Chains A and B, each alone.
Chain A
C-alpha cells in the first residue's frame, strides 16, 4: 500500500547552507512517528517544507500519493495536514473559541452574502463551527472551556497555549498532524498528561501523527517509530530501543569520544 506521506530525496538550501540534504521519509496511516535530532538538525525546516512555508530546492513530497510541492500553505492544510509551532503562535487577541473556530476556515464555505443576508445555511454552518470548536476544546478537560471560551488567548498559561495550539490544529480536520515540540516548557505532570493525549489523538480522533520532540520520555512512550536527523540527513530509524543504542545517534548527540564539539 502507498504511504500517507512520502518524502523522496528532499533538499532545502538556505544560501549556502544545506538545511536538508537528500531526506527520505515516510509515514503510514495511523502511525505515530517521532523525529529527533540535535539542535539545528533541520527538524523544523522539515515541517516547514511539508506545510509549504519553505520551498524545497529538490526532491518531492507526496501526500496520499499526490505531490504537494508548489502548493500554498493553506492548500496543504485543506488537503489534510495540520501543524503546531515550536514557539507557540496563537492568534493572541482572539478568544480561545475564535482561535478554534477560525481554524475550520478551509472546511467551511459560507461567503459574504450568507453573512449579509443571514441565510439559513449561514446560521447552520456558524452553529456547527461553534459546536465543533467546543467539542474539540472539551478534549482537553475543563481547561479551555467554560468562561475561558471568551477569554483572549494571550491570557492563557504557557501549557494551555500549547494545548490550544493542538486544538487549533485539530479543528482543521487533518489526517496528518505535525506536532513541533508539543511538550517543550511543560512540567513533568503536564508532560505526562499531554503524552497520554497524543495517544488519544490517534485512538479517538484517528489522526496520524509526526512529532518533533526533545523529551525522550515522551518519544519513548508515544512513538511507533523514531527517525533521527542530523545535519539534514536521517542517520537512524527504527523503534526507540533500536535508535537509542545506535552508535551514530549517540555520536550525533554527544560527539565523538576523542574530540568533543557541539
Chain B
C-alpha cells in the first residue's frame, strides 16, 4: 500500500457512517412520498420545488456534519481544508447512491404493495421528469451537495452566515407566498408581487438571486450585530430588561392590532387558526409549563367550551335551546369549564408523572366519547353534532363566523387575557407554589403548600382558557362535532408548547406560529398546504430533533434553560467569579 500524503488521510469510518445514514434518510424521505407531494410547491419556478428541497438538503447537511470537527478552545487543530471537502463529497455521494439504487430498484422490481410510493411517479420526480436519465446522476448530485455542505465548514463564518441567511430568506419568501400575495392587496403592492413571483407560484429566478444576495450581503456587513443585540438584551439588569420587554411587547401588540386591517381573508383566517391554538397552548402552558402537570387530555376543556356555547346559543340544538347571545353564554362556559376542571382534576391530581399523563389521556377521550354517545344523543346530537351556531353579537359590531378579521381580533383579545393571566400568576403566591411543586412535590408539601389545591387551581385556570378557545371555535365554524375534539388536538397543543419552550410565553407564540401557521393544525391547513398528510411526520421529526438538540424549546424561558444546563451555568459563574467560593470538599463524602 502506497503511503498517502497526510493531508489526504480520511476518516473512512466516519464517511461511511454518515453517508449511509444520509442514504437511509433519503430513501425514507422518498418513500414516504415527500418529493411527490411537495413537488407542486414551487420555490424558484421552474427550477426548484419544495419536493426537491426535501431531497437536496439531506446530502448538504450530512456533508456539513461529516466534515465538521469539534474545536476545543486552546487546542490547536489543522485548518479545515481539502480533506474536509473530500469527506463532504464522499458522504454526499454515498447518500446520493442510495437514490440511485432506489431508481434502479423501482425500474426493475415492483413492491408497490407495501410501499405506496414505490411508483413510476417517484421515478419521474427522481429523474427530473426526463425519460431515461442515468440513475448514477444522483451520486454526482449527492457529491456536489456534500461538497457544498463541507465548503460551509471551510469558508469564513461571516460568509457562511451570509449564505445561509440568503438561502433561508428565499425559502421563507417562497413559503410565505400565499400570505404575501394576500397581504399585497391591502398595501397596494400587487406590482411587487407580480415582479418577484411567477403567476403559477414560485419565485422568479432573478428576484430570488437578488433577494438572496441582498440578505446575504446585509448579514455579512452587519456581522452578527443582531446576535450581539440579543445577547445585550439578555444581559441587561432586571429593571431595564423589564422596560425593554414592555417596549417589545407593545410593538408586537400594536402590529397585531394594525396589520389585520391590511390583510385579506386568507391570512386572517390563518391567523385566527393560529390564535385559537395559541390560546389553547397558553392555557396548557400554565398547566404543563408552570405547574408541571403533564395533561394529555387538554382537548376535553376545549370540547366543553365549544359544546356549552353550541347548546346555549344555537336555536336548533336538540334538547335545550335558549338561544342566548354568545357573550352571555360565555359566563356559563367559564363556570362549566371550571367545574369540569375540578371534576377531572380531583381524581387525577393525586397521581404523579406518567400515571397522571395516562389518566388525563383517558379523560380527554371520555369527554369526546360522551358527546358522541347514543346515550347523550338527545342532548348533544351524537355524531351529527350541533348546527346553527350564530355569530357573535357584541352590541356594537356583529362578528359572523365567516368574518375572519373579526374572529381574529376576538382571538387576539382572549390571547391577551391568557398572556396577562399567565404573567400575573407566575409572580404570585400561587405561581410560586406551582414552581415549588414542579421542583419537588414532597418538599413543597412539607413546606406548607397545599399541593392538591394548588394543582387543582392550575387545572381550573387552564380549563377556563381552553374553554374560551372552544367558544370562539364554535362560533367561528357554526357547528360542533365530537370528531373535532380528537386526542390529536391535545397532542398538537402539547407539541406547540414543547417546541416553543415550556413555561415561556414568547416561546408559545413562536411555537404556535411555526407549527400551526406554517405546517398547519390537525385539520386546519397552514401556509404549506402541500404538507397535508405529511404534517404529523414533520411534527414528529421536529419533536425528536428538539428533544435531542434543544430540549428547552425555540424561545426558552430563562428558568428552564438554567434547569437543563445547570453545569454550564455553574461553569459560567465560576468564570465570572460569582460562584460560591467556599465549596467544602469534604462535604460530599460526609453525607450519610
Residues of A that sit less than 8 Å from B by CB: 39, 51, 53, 72-74, 77-78, 82-83, 85-87, 89-94, 98, 101-103, 105-108, 110-112, 114-116, 118, 122, 125-126, 129, 147, 150-152, 154-160, 168, 172, 181, 184-187, 190, 214
The answer to whether B591 and A87 touch across the interface, beta carbons within 8 angstroms, is: yes
Interface residues of B in 430-479 (CB under 8 A from A): 430-433, 435-436, 439-440, 442-451, 457, 461
Residues of B close to A118: CB separation below 8 A = 424
Bound complex: CA A125 to CA B580 (Å): 31
The answer to whether A160 and B448 touch across the interface, beta carbons within 8 angstroms, is: no
Residues of B close to A214: CB separation below 8 A = 592
Bound complex: CA A93 to CA B569 (Å): 12
B524 part of interface (Cβ distance < 8 Å): no
Given contact pairs A116-B424, A118-B424, A185-B591, A103 touches B583 in the complex (Cβ within 8 A):
no
Residues of B close to A184: CB separation below 8 A = 590-592
- Interchain CB contact (< 8 A) of B436 among A72, A91, A122, A186: A91
Residues of A close to B562: CB separation below 8 A = 93, 152
The answer to whether A111 and B430 touch across the interface, beta carbons within 8 angstroms, is: yes
Minimum Cβ distance to chain A for residue B344 (Å)? 19
The answer to whether B442 and A155 touch across the interface, beta carbons within 8 angstroms, is: no
Minimum Cβ distance to chain B for residue A236 (Å)? 21
Bound complex: CA A159 to CA B591 (Å): 12
The answer to whether A74 and B439 touch across the interface, beta carbons within 8 angstroms, is: no
- Interchain CB contact (< 8 A) of A155 among B461, B569, B586: B569
Bound complex: CA A94 to CA B292 (Å): 14
The answer to whether B580 and A156 touch across the interface, beta carbons within 8 angstroms, is: yes
- Interchain CB contact (< 8 A) of B448 among A90, A103, A115, A126: A103
Residues of B close to A185: CB separation below 8 A = 584, 586-591
Residues of A close to B444: CB separation below 8 A = 91, 102
7 interchain residue pairs of minimum CB distance: A106-B448, A185-B587, A157-B580, A115-B428, A77-B448, A158-B587, A91-B439
Residues of B close to A187: CB separation below 8 A = 584, 586-587
The answer to whether B238 and A150 touch across the interface, beta carbons within 8 angstroms, is: yes
The answer to whether A112 and B430 touch across the interface, beta carbons within 8 angstroms, is: yes
The answer to whether B450 and A98 touch across the interface, beta carbons within 8 angstroms, is: no
Residues of B close to A154: CB separation below 8 A = 566, 570
Minimum Cβ distance to chain A for residue B431 (Å)? 8
The answer to whether A112 and B448 touch across the interface, beta carbons within 8 angstroms, is: no
- Interchain CB contact (< 8 A) of B445 among A74, A91, A107: A74
- Interchain CB contact (< 8 A) of B429 among A115, A152, A172: A115
Q: Who on chain A is nearest to B450 by CB?
A: A74
The answer to whether B446 and A93 touch across the interface, beta carbons within 8 angstroms, is: no
The answer to whether B447 and A77 touch across the interface, beta carbons within 8 angstroms, is: yes
B11 part of interface (Cβ distance < 8 Å): no
Minimum Cβ distance to chain B for residue A108 (Å)? 6
- Interchain CB contact (< 8 A) of A91 among B238, B440, B579, B592: B440
Residues of B that sit less than 8 Å from A by CB: 238, 420-421, 424-425, 427-433, 435-436, 439-440, 442-451, 457, 461, 559, 562-563, 566, 569-570, 573, 578-584, 586-592
The answer to whether A53 and B590 touch across the interface, beta carbons within 8 angstroms, is: no
- Interchain CB contact (< 8 A) of A72 among B435, B445, B580, B586: B445
Bound complex: CA A187 to CA B443 (Å): 26
Residues of A close to B461: CB separation below 8 A = 112
Residues of A close to B448: CB separation below 8 A = 74, 77-78, 103, 105-107, 172
The answer to whether B592 and A86 touch across the interface, beta carbons within 8 angstroms, is: yes
The answer to whether A73 and B446 touch across the interface, beta carbons within 8 angstroms, is: yes
The answer to whether B449 and A110 touch across the interface, beta carbons within 8 angstroms, is: no
- Interchain CB contact (< 8 A) of A105 among B449, B570, B580, B586: B449
Residues of B close to A94: CB separation below 8 A = 432, 435-436, 439
Bound complex: CA A154 to CA B579 (Å): 11
Q: Beyond the given A98-B435, A129-B429, could you list 5 further A-B residue pairs with CB under 8 A, ordered by the A residue number?
A: A93-B435, A102-B447, A108-B429, A115-B429, A126-B428
Q: Who on chain A is nearest to B461 by CB?
A: A112
- Interchain CB contact (< 8 A) of B425 among A83, A87, A116: A116
- Interchain CB contact (< 8 A) of A39 among B430, B436, B592: B592
Given contact pairs A102-B432, A106-B448, A91 touches B591 in the complex (Cβ within 8 A):
no
Minimum Cβ distance to chain B for residue A229 (Å)? 15
In the assembled complex, 14 residue pairs joining A and B whose CB atoms fall closer than 8 Å, in A order, are A53-B442, A74-B450, A91-B435, A94-B439, A105-B448, A106-B449, A112-B425, A115-B424, A115-B427, A116-B420, A122-B428, A155-B579, A185-B588, A186-B584
Q: Who on chain A is nearest to B559 by CB?
A: A93
The answer to whether B432 and A105 touch across the interface, beta carbons within 8 angstroms, is: yes
Bound complex: CA A125 to CA B429 (Å): 9
Minimum Cβ distance to chain B for residue A69 (Å)? 17
Residues of B close to A116: CB separation below 8 A = 420-421, 424-425
Residues of A close to B583: CB separation below 8 A = 157-158
Bound complex: CA A215 to CA B580 (Å): 24
The answer to whether A91 and B443 touch across the interface, beta carbons within 8 angstroms, is: yes
Given contact pairs A111-B430, A116-B424, A126-B428, A181 touches B592 in the complex (Cβ within 8 A):
yes
Residues of B close to A103: CB separation below 8 A = 447-448
Bound complex: CA A136 to CA B581 (Å): 22
Minimum Cβ distance to chain A for residue B453 (Å)? 9
Bound complex: CA A155 to CA B447 (Å): 21
Q: Who on chain A is nearest to B238 by CB?
A: A150
Residues of A close to B588: CB separation below 8 A = 158, 185
Bound complex: CA A86 to CA B591 (Å): 9
Bound complex: CA A184 to CA B579 (Å): 21
The answer to whether B570 and A155 touch across the interface, beta carbons within 8 angstroms, is: yes
Residues of B close to A126: CB separation below 8 A = 428-429
Residues of B close to A51: CB separation below 8 A = 446
The answer to whether B428 and A102 touch across the interface, beta carbons within 8 angstroms, is: no
Given contact pairs A105-B447, A147-B578, A110 touches B435 in the complex (Cβ within 8 A):
no
The answer to whether A102 and B591 touch across the interface, beta carbons within 8 angstroms, is: no
Residues of A close to B445: CB separation below 8 A = 72-74
Residues of A close to B425: CB separation below 8 A = 112, 115-116
Given contact pairs A77-B448, A185-B588, A157 touches B457 in the complex (Cβ within 8 A):
no
The answer to whether A155 and B573 touch across the interface, beta carbons within 8 angstroms, is: yes
Bound complex: CA A98 to CA B569 (Å): 19
Residues of A close to B429: CB separation below 8 A = 105, 108, 110, 115, 125-126, 129
Q: Who on chain A is nearest to B585 by CB?
A: A187
Bound complex: CA A155 to CA B574 (Å): 10
Bound complex: CA A160 to CA B569 (Å): 18
Minimum Cβ distance to chain B for residue A100 (Å)? 10
Residues of A close to B592: CB separation below 8 A = 39, 86, 181, 184, 214
Bound complex: CA A106 to CA B447 (Å): 8
Q: Who on chain B is nearest to A99 by CB?
A: B436
Q: Who on chain A is nearest to B433 by CB?
A: A105
Residues of A close to B581: CB separation below 8 A = 157
Bound complex: CA A155 to CA B575 (Å): 13
Bound complex: CA A39 to CA B591 (Å): 12
Residues of A close to B589: CB separation below 8 A = 185
The answer to whether A98 and B432 touch across the interface, beta carbons within 8 angstroms, is: yes
Residues of A close to B559: CB separation below 8 A = 93, 152
Residues of A close to B431: CB separation below 8 A = 115
Residues of A close to B591: CB separation below 8 A = 87, 184-185
Bound complex: CA A190 to CA B420 (Å): 45
Bound complex: CA A159 to CA B588 (Å): 10
Bound complex: CA A102 to CA B435 (Å): 9
Minimum Cβ distance to chain A for residue B584 (Å)? 5
Bound complex: CA A127 to CA B430 (Å): 15
The answer to whether B424 and A85 touch across the interface, beta carbons within 8 angstroms, is: no
Residues of A close to B430: CB separation below 8 A = 111-112, 115
Q: Who on chain B is nearest to A165 by CB?
A: B443
Residues of B close to A129: CB separation below 8 A = 429
